[in-house]
Structure 1
Amino acid sequence: MAAAGHPLPDPKAQSSTDKPGPGGLTHLNEQGEARMVDVGGKAVTARSASAEAIVRMSAATHSAVIGGNLPKGDVFSTARIAGIMAAKRTHEAIPMCHPLAIDSVKIEFHTDVATDAQGRAGIRVISNVKCTGRTGVEMEALHAAAVAALTIYDMAKAVEKGMEITGLRLIEKTGGKSGNWKA
């Protein structure tokens, strides 16, 4: 027994991808328990995903970030490194994500985002992750964009605590059995 009332899995049992759980969910077994999907039988293909997030802030903070005038240093270099690191370690932060051999991670920052209804400026973070593998990189792209945005917040919070991170979303994915998708 692995835990009280839970037998150890039979290594000779049918692959977890063969029998989805309730509602056809692949991350649940037939009993409704969480499990990691078996991707061993999937084809190895080129895959990519892009995600974005927007960090909203006052015009003064926006100018300070762009001008490199913050006490913690270069916001964009630090946020780029944080986003890359996040993509590479997504499997450690998100349960059921497979560790992947990522081919590339790119993080871009767009500072010309239109002001919102409250007059706040914005910085758009866009991540792009690529790999050649058996499962997609959507979560890696989302994790990279989120952590890069959080890093911008961390680097600028000394001058403004009321910043807001919004609009975290997948904007495109390619490859795999489900094909291509674009927001």
Structure 2
Amino acid sequence: MSPLTPHLTHLDAEGRARMVDVSDKAATAREAVAEGFVRMAPATLALARTGSGRKGDVRAVAEIAGVMAAKRTSDLIPLCHPLALSKVEVAVGEATDGSGLRVTANVRTTGPTGVEMEALTACSVACLTLYDMLKAADRAMVIEGVRLLEKTGGKSGDYRG
């Protein structure tokens, strides 16, 4: 590894990008949970809440988009491994402070590598879908706070953010 990046597993000794070799890693149960927020005007939130917008139930469509995105993560993030996912659950609900919608994504697999990127991708695409479906009512919406909340399994152990 390069002395400048001793901890970056996606770079080889010369600093070139590479897919990490996970062939010697044990297949273990792995899970990751991510969240993100779409902040919006109260009137926009009311529209999203009713599910009666011109494009239909925006929350249901965003949840399906998130599931589809998790399954396509390795197509979107160049060095991610394609994974057989055993669970992808995306939920869109109201933010506790009433400022918009909160998206959570929970992803599971049994394999040699984690599902953090799949959970983050699911969450991000669900947020983008909400924006797309509501932008006619509110172009000032803000997508924020997309982050990993927790991950379990694997050699590096558990993480809770």
Structure 1 residues 28-53: Cα deviation after superposition (integer angstroms, max 9, x where no partner): 11111101000000010000000000
Structure 1 residues 64-83: Cα deviation after superposition (integer angstroms, max 9, x where no partner): 00011311111111101100
Check if 1:43 corresponds to 2:26.
Answer: yes
1:21, distance to aligned residue in structure 2 (A) = 4.5
Check if 1:161 corresponds to 2:146.
Answer: no
Within the candidate set 19, 33, 37, 2:16 is matched to 33
- Within 5 Å, which residues of 2 pair with 1:1-183? 20-22=1-3, 23-24=5-6, 25-115=8-98, 121-183=99-161
Query: What secondary structure is seen at the aligned counterpart in 2 of 1:71?
Result: coil
Query: What secondary structure is seen at the aligned counterpart in 1 of 2:9?
Result: coil
| Alignment TM-score, normalising by the size of structure 2 | 0.95
Larger radius of gyration: 1
Single out whichever of 127-136 and 26-35 deviates more from structure 2: 26-35
Q: Which runs of 5+ in 1 are unaligned?
A: 1-19, 116-120
Structure 1 residues 128-156: Cα deviation after superposition (integer angstroms, max 9, x where no partner): 00000000000000000000011011110
Aligned residues, how many?
Answer: 159
1:90, distance to aligned residue in structure 2 (A) = 0.3
1:112, distance to aligned residue in structure 2 (A) = 4.2
1:113, distance to aligned residue in structure 2 (A) = 2.4
In structure 2, distance between residues paired with 1:102 and 1:153: 26
CA RMSD of aligned residues (A): 1.0
Q: Which runs of 5+ in 2 are unaligned?
A: none
| Alignment TM-score, normalising by the size of structure 1 | 0.84
